Structure 1
Amino acid sequence: MFTKPTPAKDLTIWEDAEKMIEKARRDGVETVWDRFEQQTPGCKFCELGLTCKNCNMGPCRISIKENGKMQRGVCGADGDVIVARNFGRFVAGGSAGHSDHGRDLIEVLEAIVEGEAPDYTITDVEKLQRVAAELGIATEGREVMAIAGDLVDACFADFGSRKKELGFASRVPEVRKEIWRKYKVMPRGVDREIAEMMHRTHMGCDNDAVSTLLHAARTALADGWGGSMIGTELSDIIFGLPTPSKSQVNLGVIKESSVNILVHGHNPVVSEMVLAAARDPEMIAKAQAAGADGINIGGLCCTGNELLGRQGIPMAGNHLMTELAIVTGAVEAVVVDYQCIMPSMVQAAACYHTKFITTADKAQFTGAIHISFNTATAAKQAREIVDMAIEAYAERDQSRVEIPVAPVDAVTGFSNEALLNMLGGTLDPLLDAIKDGSIRGVVAIVGCNNPKFQHDSQNVGLAKELIKRDILVLATGCITTAAGKAGLMVPEGSEMAGTGLQKICSALNIPPVLHFGSCVDNSRVIQLCGIIANALGVDISDLPVWGASPEWYSEKAVAIGLYCVASGIPVQIGTPPQITGSKLVTDLALNGLEDVFGASFLVEPDYAVAAEKMDERIKAKRRALGLSE
């Protein structure tokens, strides 16, 4: 039976997305919303987390018997154990993703040290020396490459199995570390915790749900204070610190008269080189000879965020906008590395002249053009990619081009260092603003989109509700584009904020929502919380702070959420992970973790209700610290 598709205006809050959804339907291009409808309703057993295929005696699915008792799987595992095992593996997957990103950056730094990456350099020597000193590496009077070589060894050691604590645990307040030691969740090594999570969840191993969940926390902490933090710090060292600058966002950044190349994924190692090639006068001349007025680089998702923060390139869209960017008909090439890249983009690109180019051997896509990117030949390969895009420009069908809106301005590129610099080199002005109530609290809203919600409705709605309450918002990942489109990432956006936050934004000439980088850069957020807690002489869990991911979808988001909670930062999410089939696991996530870590999860799909509940906790934390309202 034919079902009329959902009107585009009900799927997204944005004009550019609405117009491109309608164009995709006219052009016969299937989008994520079409496939979501095809998959609805989903499997209830999977949704509850009550399915198990960890061995070949199954697969099993657990339900309630008529007598009210829970079934068991073939091996005898009950619903609590199965849910905990599934959740643990979900966290391991997310931790592996962000941490492997960090490992890639170590390998690039190692190649620079060994002279095998001639197109890369150490851009921020001061940060190299500062981070090395934090990890106990001697820096005084030593050559830069010698220090960098020792930093490589120290970072690789954090992925191994021989340490008792990660190097960056030095940034964690001592009282928090004592909690981790008490519950045996102090992360020892990134790969060690991920491998142990997989071992524990093998049939016949950890069959106590609480034990499994505690190790899930340890695995997530190894990502947040290990792999992700390494990825952030080494990206700064190699490519430079993000610095506040003006840019633009939405599909209007795609230019009808230019060769348009969109970079997508998470790792700046490829995208930085593509940008450098696109800025080469020789390549620009080639584009002009082909009839274009130049070469335009735009960002998607977190690779876009990396270049946005450091290079100021415009952002075309977030996760649910990636197919729609191609539907404009004006994109010559999409160059991807890994993570959050929908396989459907290959089919969408094939409907137009767009070249879909993969660059990471660990993320190959059937039907794509694959270029195995090598740091030894990076500049040459980047030029080859730009050449492909220029050649594709000649194949563009101008009758199919539609740029739906004009771009809007955004101020982006904040980091802990940039924030300190803006405050005169000390956190005191920020602490004073928190103490006097001008800034009543801080919330980090973490990216992601999910077609279960009207696109970006929860992300933008929550941000607006929070700033009205004088709560400063830090944005990472896919919410960046949304906040920018909503006018929240320009100083003028403070008109939507409360009077206290307005005062601070006016004094510093900053937006009420600060762009804090890609989703791997949530390590900046937990580090900042550690710095503030140490400055106040309290634990992180004592601070008036929250994390939030209203439209989350990925394993990485759950890993981020769990390492925030285990660090003492409560986290709001719009939908629960697949754990609700176990009352024990659900109660632990929503309540029990409070007794262990001083923080827990809040599942609330309504951003207005979520903001109210988050504000109540912020009030309580302020009262406990003796701060005024």
Structure 2
Amino acid sequence: MAKDSGDVKNKSIWEDATKMIEKAARDGVETVWDRFEQQTPGCKFCELGLTCKNCNMGPCRISLKENGKMQRGVCGADGNVIVARNFGRFVAGGSAGHSDHGRDLIEVLEAIVEGKASAYTITNEEKLYRVAQEVGVATDGRTKQDVARELVDVLFADFGSRKKELAFMGRVPEKRKEIWRQLNVIPRGVDREIAEMMHRTHMGCDNDAISTMLHSARTALADGWGGSMIGTELSDIIFGVPTPAASKVNLGVIRKEQVNILVHGHNPVVSEMVLAAARDPEMIAKAKAAGAEGINIGGLCCTGNELLGRQGIPMAGNHLMTELAIVTGAVEAVVVDYQCIMPSLVQAAACYHTRFITTSDKARFTGATHVSFDTSRAAEQARQIVEMSIEAYGSRDNSRVEIPVEPVDIVSGFSNEALLDMLGGSLEPLLEAIKDGSIRGVVAIVGCNNPKFTHDSQNVGLAKELIKRDILVLATGCITTAAGKAGLMVPAGAEMAGPGLQKICGALDIPPVLHFGSCVDNSRVIQLCGSIADALGVDISDLPVWGASPEWYSEKAVAIGVYCVASGIPVQIGTPPQITGSKLVTDLATGGLEDVFGASFLVEADYRIAAEKMDERIKAKRKALGLGE
């Protein structure tokens, strides 16, 4: 963790970040690190999860009495119950975010088949038919419109209350489903599980901490194998399946001589249209008439990842870089949809000529310019946004522009389909590499940054430690930018890997860290693990795999972690969620879940120690499978 937040080098490991933090101070722009200092130290009761405001008899704070016994809230709930209830609502919030993203994609597909969204199309018909067949939709002799219309109905039903299990449950190995049946946690409907969690945590309902934690797992599973998976699959159908392509990353992708538009958030529905408008010759001509050489689109966070994977659009930065991108003074517009968007961006943009443009009615920001994005008018509204950006270029003060570095190369755009294509259409070469120890294990590192740590130090440190041990890393979300800046997302980065992984990277001409998409695309990871487990005839928990989120901050990250653990994939996190006020809940999360799901959480703030412990488990799993080192 950053020890001296006043020292800029303790705030980030990157040159582009530290230079812009210094410039922000000169320009009088408050950053996330400034506000973190203002909020330190935090409330210990909140940190421990021992506060409750679920009814108006409180709020309550729970602590130990002088006799060592735990206090109870006004209603009589003890600390274990309060911690579990708070955690359950945290998971429900994260699951709602990613799952609502999935629902939005269903609505876009529905608008396409109804002829109400002419700017959008079904780009990948092969995947449409394949996914439709998988969830029981007949495809023989039917048009893509008819197939898509029925698929919409099937996937909308996954959000309801009348099904016994979700449509994609066929992707879950039978051994794993049997564990879920015994525990009564097979997810039935996305909205049903989230609503039930809110009901269970109302005063006078579920007052057994273990029961509440099990429903947390069910809620998260509804996200991972439901809402998030729907979001990923429909994005592929509508916008195309990601394939490997060269791109660039860091604040150097912002071009002084061009109109710079940064897209930020999580849903590609808006950003794909803005990109299309920016490529329109008429828009480019308008930009040149305004004195620019052209229009440059760059990505931030997961909307950036969506465009990076499918379109090769460069990434300007991750979560803690968003304010700093504006501080370059060269950004005409930041166009956002929802999630992980700091409200402070409105104030940062106001310090320059930058337009901060919101597009989702679910995510309005006081002081922003709002364009209520409508899929029936998507092309028109995207052109409007680009024209506003061109107009802002005329107000840019070039004396305040500072682009701190040159961009670096990355290779992005991997997916399960791209991986299979690379392997000749079969998982067998990957399985052979795992069996012979060339790839000793696989770890998915999930995005997020948190000012509690030196920015990206844990993300990059853990990735480097793992690849040295011949462990392949899959990157989703905000770690993408970090791994790219560290040189880990080009084939030459394999020089930092162990000999086995080097050999595989050389044979396939791939990086040792593969870009697997946005944070919603962790559904690709659990699907891949399910496919490998089926191919080997084992459970997911038998595999030499891990998930990790060293610098997590978001409710969504906890939901991802819970659905991974419930699926049999252990997860390393750098800091604990707000559960440490309950020994029962903490012990369950960090060990007891092994007896329930065959996986649990590892809380470890030092990436070196984390890598060693993760490696120990991978060795044990390999040995149990009869695999050598």
TM-score for both structures, normalised by structure 2 = 0.99
Give the distance between the partners of 1:54 and 1:168, measured in 2 at CA.
34
- Determine the structure 2 residue equivalent to 1:387: 387
Give the distance between the partners of 2:149 and 2:177, measured in 1 at CA.
28
- Determine the structure 2 residue equivalent to 1:26: 26
> Which amino acid counterpart does residue 344 of structure 1 have in structure 2?
S
Percent identity, please: 85
Give the distance between the partners of 1:276 and 1:117, measured in 2 at CA.
15
- Determine the structure 2 residue equivalent to 1:51: 51
- Determine the structure 2 residue equivalent to 1:463: 463
> Which amino acid counterpart does residue 329 of structure 1 have in structure 2?
G
1:75-474 map, 5 Å = 75-474=75-474
- Determine the structure 2 residue equivalent to 1:540: 540
Give the distance between the partners of 2:153 and 2:596, measured in 1 at CA.
34
- Determine the structure 1 residue equivalent to 2:511: 511
Give the distance between the partners of 1:422 and 1:5, measured in 2 at CA.
45
Give the distance between the partners of 2:587 and 2:313, measured in 1 at CA.
44
> Which amino acid counterpart does residue 607 of structure 1 have in structure 2?
Y
Per-residue deviation, 1:9: 1.1
The 3-state SS of whatever aligns with 1:451 is coil
Per-residue deviation, 1:10: 1.1
> Which amino acid counterpart does residue 586 of structure 1 have in structure 2?
T
- C-alpha contact 2:5 2:11 (8 A) present in aligned 1: no
Give the distance between the partners of 1:470 and 1:164, measured in 2 at CA.
41
> Which amino acid counterpart does residue 29 of structure 1 have in structure 2?
V
The 3-state SS of whatever aligns with 1:572 is strand
Q: Which stretches of structure 1, 4 residues or longer, exceed 4 Å deviation after superposition? A: none
- Determine the structure 2 residue equivalent to 1:521: 521
The 3-state SS of whatever aligns with 1:547 is strand
Give the distance between the partners of 1:538 and 1:118, measured in 2 at CA.
46
Change over 3 Å in CA distance of 1:583–1:5 after alignment to 2: closer
1:56-71 map, 5 Å = 56-71=56-71
The 3-state SS of whatever aligns with 2:261 is strand
> Which amino acid counterpart does residue 412 of structure 2 have in structure 1?
T
Give the distance between the partners of 2:587 and 2:141, measured in 1 at CA.
55
Per-residue deviation, 1:7: 1.6
Q: Does 2:576 correspond to 1:571?
A: no
TM-score for both structures, normalised by structure 1 = 0.99
The 3-state SS of whatever aligns with 2:272 is helix
Give the distance between the partners of 2:295 and 2:17, measured in 1 at CA.
24
> Which amino acid counterpart does residue 436 of structure 1 have in structure 2?
D
The 3-state SS of whatever aligns with 2:381 is helix
Per-residue deviation, 1:5: 6.2
> Which amino acid counterpart does residue 307 of structure 1 have in structure 2?
L
- C-alpha contact 2:251 2:405 (8 A) present in aligned 1: yes
Deviations 1:424-480 (A, max 9, x none): 000110000000000000000000000000000000000000000000000000000
> Which amino acid counterpart does residue 236 of structure 2 have in structure 1?
D
- Matched residue pairs, number? 626
The 3-state SS of whatever aligns with 1:40 is coil
> Which amino acid counterpart does residue 438 of structure 2 have in structure 1?
S
Give the distance between the partners of 1:414 and 1:252, measured in 2 at CA.
23
- Determine the structure 2 residue equivalent to 1:555: 555
The 3-state SS of whatever aligns with 1:472 is strand
Give the alignment's Cα RMSD to 1 decimal: 0.5
The 3-state SS of whatever aligns with 1:230 is helix
> Which amino acid counterpart does residue 309 of structure 1 have in structure 2?
G
- Could you list the runs of 5+ residues in structure 2 that have no partner in the other structure? none
Deviations 1:69-93 (A, max 9, x none): 0000000000000000000000000
- Determine the structure 2 residue equivalent to 1:619: 619
1:32-47 map, 5 Å = 32-47=32-47
Deviations 1:56-112 (A, max 9, x none): 000000000000000000000000000000000000000000000000000000000
Give the distance between the partners of 1:214 and 1:113, measured in 2 at CA.
39
Per-residue deviation, 1:8: 1.0
Deviations 1:243-286 (A, max 9, x none): 10000000000000000000000000000000000000000000
> Which amino acid counterpart does residue 367 of structure 1 have in structure 2?
G
Give the distance between the partners of 2:318 and 2:128, measured in 1 at CA.
31
Give the distance between the partners of 2:236 and 2:570, measured in 1 at CA.
28
Give the distance between the partners of 1:121 and 1:582, measured in 2 at CA.
50
Deviations 1:558-605 (A, max 9, x none): 000000000000000000000000000000000110000000000000
1:601-620 map, 5 Å = 601-620=601-620
Change over 3 Å in CA distance of 1:102–1:5 after alignment to 2: closer
- C-alpha contact 2:194 2:219 (8 A) present in aligned 1: yes
- C-alpha contact 2:5 2:33 (8 A) present in aligned 1: no
- Determine the structure 2 residue equivalent to 1:595: 595
The 3-state SS of whatever aligns with 2:417 is helix
Give the distance between the partners of 1:514 and 1:480, measured in 2 at CA.
9
The 3-state SS of whatever aligns with 2:89 is helix
The 3-state SS of whatever aligns with 2:546 is strand
The 3-state SS of whatever aligns with 2:386 is helix
- C-alpha contact 2:158 2:167 (8 A) present in aligned 1: yes
> Which amino acid counterpart does residue 204 of structure 2 have in structure 1?
G
